[in-house]
Amino acid sequence: MKKRINNKIKATAEERSLKIGAFIISALFVCVMLYPFFFTIGNSMKDSKKIYDIPPKILPEMAKSIVIELDYTAHDGKAPEEIEEMLIEDTVMAMFGVADDLSKESVYEYKVYAKMNDKTIFTSRVHQSLIQLERDYGVYAGAVAKQKVLLAKERHKQVIQNIGYDFDLEGLSHELDLEGYENTYNEQITEILTEDFELNGTYITSGVKDNVWLLLETFKYYIKMPQYIYGDNPLVSQYGFGVFVMNTCIVIGFAILSQVFLCSICAFVISTMLGKKAAKYMIFFFMGAMMIPFASIMTPLVLMFRDMGAYDNYWALLLPFLYPTGFFVYLYKGFFDKIPSSYFEAAKIDGASNIFLYFKICMPLSKPIISLIALQTFLGNWNDFFWAWLVTEDQKLWTLNVALYNISNNNGTKQNSILGLAIITITPVILLSILFSKQLKQSVIASGVKG
């Protein structure tokens, strides 16, 4: 008796050890798999200089916010339009000049406050990513941060429209509060704004403090990148990244609808209307078609679509989904075969047609298969790149992955921008996979259970 109890205790201890070991190994594998993802997130929030630091770091440095205070009391009495023009000039010079000099300090935000007679009459704020966009693709593309360059051809007026500002000689409601700010870069900024630039106003002081939310704000400007890079395209310049999201949703929506219904119709015919021998050959046809490498039919397919007029338009993106996927037909067929024949026999006795059998019996019972196919189609086509890249040239037709590829190939695109856009692109897939993991598991289980 004691020997049996000891064996049981020993077996329980071994089982516990195996569970602990399995948990540790699984946790290690999860960490290894997730490391590239977190590394990408961390680097996407770094500025364009820090991303090249060696050795590389996973987490970005804390984002800093700098505020600059200027005074224009000496210009009291001048016309409001003249004062506003001076303020705009000084703001652009201060923002771009300081940003250029402090490019290695992880400064993500620049604020300018201007006073006259102890009243705040002007405020403006810009994120470092917007400055980078203007210097990479905007009016200051390839330009140096010098006074003559920044103010030449009134380019500063174009830039300030993108940055935005508030101006009122009667005084603004938001006053400058330097509580929590440090004067770490005050001497450096003083030298920049008094020696390198000739400001219309008088530089008073500056302050710096940490703000973690500025790291997340970086993604906002990654989404704006297409508006700068492809500004010549009216649709992209107006809606930016939203155009690529819309195209991707149109393609995926059409793919889901077509695959859910076309595959089910094919499977219904094979399962209920064909003999066993004919059904066997049809399944072989669909499954055999999956074994043909895409590379072998790629060129003929593109030429055929071009001759049909389905090139560089939505037809080129949508028509391939009108062919039922063999694996989905096989799934539907296997599920329909498991539906009890008594359902069909009872309906036929009542005079039901094949259309009735399809819509009222097969499809309502196929919800697990439909959800599985819809999710698989979504995941597959969200990540699809090659076909959309082959048949589209116009930027307004690009899907997310095609847009990401072309943006990454642009000479002015920084590595942190590429990583940020990649995170934006894959985040919806990760979230949907997590949200619908339970439904996916149930669908897979249900698809293999006999009715």
- Cα(319)–Cα(258) distance, rounded to whole angstroms? 10
Assess contact for 192 and 101: CB atoms under 8 A: yes
Q: What is the pTM of this model?
A: 0.82
Question: Which of the four pLDDT bands, split at 50, 70 and 90, describes residue 423?
Answer: confident
Q: Percent of the chain beyond pLDDT 90?
A: 30
Question: Which of the four pLDDT bands, split at 50, 70 and 90, describes residue 123?
Answer: very high
Question: Is there a single domain that holds both residue 368 and residue 254?
Answer: yes
Residue 161: closest CA among 139, 188, 185: 139
Using the 3D structure, point to which of 206, 228, 250 is the last residue of a domain.
228
Using the 3D structure, point to which of 181, 199, 228 is the last residue of a domain.
228
- Cα(388)–Cα(400) distance, rounded to whole angstroms? 10
What is the mean pLDDT of the segment spanning 323-334? 88
Question: Is there a single domain that holds both residue 271 and residue 389?
Answer: yes
Question: Is there a single domain that holds both residue 329 and residue 211?
Answer: no
Quick one: pLDDT at residue 441?
62
- Whichever domain contains 419, its CATH number is 1.10.3720.10
In a domain, 220, yes or no: yes
Type of residue found at 343 = Y
Question: Which of the four pLDDT bands, split at 50, 70 and 90, describes residue 448?
Answer: low
In a domain, 337, yes or no: yes
- Cα(321)–Cα(193) distance, rounded to whole angstroms? 60
246-276 per-residue burial string, b: 16 or more CB within 10 A, e: under 16: ebbeebbebbbebbbebbbbbbbbbbbeeee
Tell me the β-bridge partners of 69.
113, 205
Count CA atoms within 13 Å of residue 150 on its CB side: 23
Question: Is there a single domain that holds both residue 99 and residue 240?
Answer: no
Quick one: pLDDT at residue 113?
95
Residue 88 has pLDDT above 90, yes or no: yes
Question: Is there a single domain that holds both residue 29 and residue 138?
Answer: no
Question: Which of the four pLDDT bands, split at 50, 70 and 90, describes residue 438?
Answer: low
The angle subtended at Cα 102 by Cα 205 and Cα 53, nearest 5°, is: 150
pLDDT, tens digit, for every residue of 212-251? 899 999 999 998 899 998 888 889 988 888 899 999 999 9
Using the 3D structure, point to which of 213, 228, 243 is the last residue of a domain.
228
Question: Is there a single domain that holds both residue 391 and residue 431?
Answer: yes
In a domain, 180, yes or no: yes
| Residue of higher predicted confidence among 202 and 18 | 202
In a domain, 53, yes or no: no
In a domain, 58, yes or no: no
pLDDT, tens digit, for every residue of 335-365? 888 888 888 778 888 787 888 888 888 888 8
- Cα(450)–Cα(441) distance, rounded to whole angstroms? 16
> Domain range spanning residue 21?
2-44
Cβ atoms within 10 A of the Cβ of 85, count? 16
In a domain, 9, yes or no: yes
Residue 179 has pLDDT above 70, yes or no: yes
What is the mean pLDDT of the segment spanning 415-442? 78
What is the mean pLDDT of the segment spanning 48-76? 86
Where residue 50 falls (left for φ over 0; alpha for ψ -120 to 50; beta otherwise) is: alpha
Tokens of 314: 């939505």
| Helix (H), strand (E), coil (C) string for the chain | CHHHHHHHHHHHHHHHHHHHHHHHHHHHHHHHHHHHHHHHHHHHCCCCCHHHCCCCCCCCCCCEEEEEEEECHHHCCCCHHHHHHHHHHHHHHHHHHHHHHCCCCCEEEEEEEEEECCEEEEEEEEEHHHHHHHHHCCCCCCCCCCHHHHHHHHHHHHHHHHHCEEECCCCCCCCCCCCCCECCCHHHHHHHHHHHCCCCCEEEEEEEEECCHHHHHHHHHHHHHHHHHCCCCHHHHHHCHHHHHHHHHHHHHHHHHHHHHHHHHHHHHHHHCCCHHHHHHHHHHHHHHCCCCHHHHHHHHHHHHHHHCCCCCHHHHHHHHHCCCHHHHHHHHHHHHHCCHHHHHHHHHCCCCHHHHHHHHHHHHCHHHHHHHHHHHHHHHHCCCHHHHHHCCCHHHCCHHHHHHHHHCCCCCCHHHHHHHHHHHHHHHHHHHHHCHHHHHHHHHHHCCCC
Tell me the β-bridge partners of 208.
66, 182
Question: Is there a single domain that holds both residue 213 and residue 239?
Answer: no
Quick one: pLDDT at residue 3?
54
- Cα(249)–Cα(229) distance, rounded to whole angstroms? 22
Residue 358: closest CA among 268, 448, 450: 268
Number of domains in the chain: 3
User: Which range is most confident: 7-11, 45-49, 131-135?
Assistant: 131-135
45 phi and psi angles, rounded to 5 deg: -95, -5
Question: Is there a single domain that holds both residue 266 and residue 381?
Answer: yes
In a domain, 50, yes or no: no
| Residue of higher predicted confidence among 262 and 276 | 262
Quick one: pLDDT at residue 451?
38
β-pair type (165-167, 119-127)? antiparallel
Question: Is there a single domain that holds both residue 17 and residue 154?
Answer: no
Question: Is there a single domain that holds both residue 131 and residue 223?
Answer: yes
Question: Is there a single domain that holds both residue 318 and residue 432?
Answer: yes
Question: Which of the four pLDDT bands, split at 50, 70 and 90, describes residue 207?
Answer: very high
Question: Is there a single domain that holds both residue 240 and residue 335?
Answer: yes
Quick one: pLDDT at residue 449?
42
Where residue 291 falls (left for φ over 0; alpha for ψ -120 to 50; beta otherwise) is: alpha
In a domain, 38, yes or no: yes
- Cα(317)–Cα(255) distance, rounded to whole angstroms? 10
pLDDT, tens digit, for every residue of 142-160? 888 899 999 988 899 999 9
